[in-house]
Structure 1
């Protein structure tokens, strides 16, 4: 199966972001992708954190979900829908949710970001906990025989989540890494997750200068189970593609059966 990571530089205009996302999904389909993944916050990089509260959708309804469902059905794609704000139990919080749509246009999986990012180096300051409600359940799904484990951005720093996905063929990490943290740790962490779990990793990212002043690292990539970067886009809007090769998966796991050698956890 060919898999595609879509990189965006989303802004505060949801309609414009949805048009851009659809364009990238169409590009992925034209190139033969069977599965395409959008980045975290593909639908909105607002001027302030609270913008997510206004635009939050109820699960199963809303223009963002409608676009994903329609694109999946019309393009015949498995779509990992980056993240979008889904209403939480309280109106003061939202869930940062990944929704997955099958080629039939049906929502088949939901993952709510578990680990909420906070960072302050004196120049940049972020605290997702101000508006996000953390999820608690890991989620995996089957994409036409490909087992996929879901995660989002800051989750990447918590390997215990991914160890729970042992046996999956693909790990998805839609993200909006800051330029500062991405430059230091993005590729390092992605390749580590691929190597230690002996699986492919698809990492669609935000990549550029946003209207709200934030700069994201980009470098959307696909990585194989030996840790080799198969495709990468440093910055700007675009699509990177690679083949998820089941024979390669089997070869790596047979030659170095590290998962079978585990003694702890």
Structure 2
């Protein structure tokens, strides 16, 4: 498929309130009026970025997973975002790629944010994931992963889209605005970052800034400050043209992380 249609939701999140968040998300998503291939939600979209895992974690067959299944089926598309999952006595900040048939792919956040104590509550992932959608290869990551470019290196052109779901605070928004274009340019891929807005239960303010940057570094979409549901298309021609005219990926350093 030459074009991929994507819907991002830069959401206001209700602190540690799964029922209220899922209800609000359902209401807001009902405004979608065109067929989309993928709906992307922020990091910990059902609770906000909390370390209160005892209260907010769900099992892999829990309420939010069922909501994602129902939503993917309703809109005949993939639904993606991260939530807190408890499995085998461990907690994960887990990205879920939910297909419309109820099957899913998971990615556990590799880089845990020590400044918030995430590393004390969660178990890090150790495997990068590539998913496919209508012929597009997509690499999902979560928030703090953005700061570590080795983890996202596009060796052998492994992916077409690098996707970050985030709870990225306003106080470091300049870093967000700089790093996402950098990841797009260095990996010659579309990079999509979906953030949240509003204050959380710790009075941390999030100013959004969700965006999509093209492989050449152009802005496809950018929205600061306000809750926003937006649908846009990306085109394979932009990837092909960039990699043909500027064949930098063939010179990428050939090494892999030992983890």
1:144-163 superposed matches below 5 A: 144-163=134-153
Verify: 1:143 aligned to 2:122, yes or no. Answer: no
How many Å separate the matches in 2 of 1:20 and 1:237? 12
1:179-258 superposed matches below 5 A: 179-182=170-173, 184-258=174-248
CA RMSD of aligned residues (A): 1.8
Normalising by structure 2, what TM-score? 0.90
Are the aligned partners of 1:232 and 1:240 in contact in 2 as well (CA < 8 Å)? no
SS state at 1:236 partner: coil
- Flag the 1:263–1:158 CA change in 2: closer, same or farther, 3 A: closer
More strand by percentage: 2
Task: Tell me how far 1:264 sits from its aligned partner.
Answer: 4.3
1:13-162 superposed matches below 5 A: 13-27=17-31, 29-45=32-48, 49-50=51-52, 52-59=53-60, 61-80=61-80, 82-90=81-89, 93-107=90-104, 109-119=105-115, 126-162=116-152
The number of aligned residues is 250
Deviations, residues 38-83 of structure 1 (Å, cap 9, x unaligned):
000110027x622x22232222x11100010110011111111x21
How many Å separate the matches in 2 of 1:263 and 1:193? 15
Unaligned ranges ≥5, structure 2: none
How many Å separate the matches in 2 of 1:13 and 1:77? 25
- Flag the 1:263–1:94 CA change in 2: closer, same or farther, 3 A: closer
Task: Tell me how far 1:127 sits from its aligned partner.
Answer: 1.9
Are the aligned partners of 2:184 and 2:214 in contact in 1 as well (CA < 8 Å)? yes
Deviations, residues 162-209 of structure 1 (Å, cap 9, x unaligned):
115643111110000111122x20011011111111111121111222
**Residue of structure 1 in register with 2:160 after alignment:** 169
Are the aligned partners of 1:169 and 1:249 in contact in 2 as well (CA < 8 Å)? yes
Deviations, residues 203-242 of structure 1 (Å, cap 9, x unaligned):
1111222344221131111111111121122123222332
- Flag the 1:208–1:241 CA change in 2: closer, same or farther, 3 A: same
Are the aligned partners of 2:154 and 2:187 in contact in 1 as well (CA < 8 Å)? no
SS state at 1:142 partner: strand
Unaligned ranges ≥5, structure 1: 120-125
SS state at 2:172 partner: helix
How many Å separate the matches in 2 of 1:263 and 1:139? 20
Normalising by structure 1, what TM-score? 0.88
Runs of 4+ in 1 over 4 A off after TM superposition: none
How many Å separate the matches in 2 of 1:77 and 1:158? 30
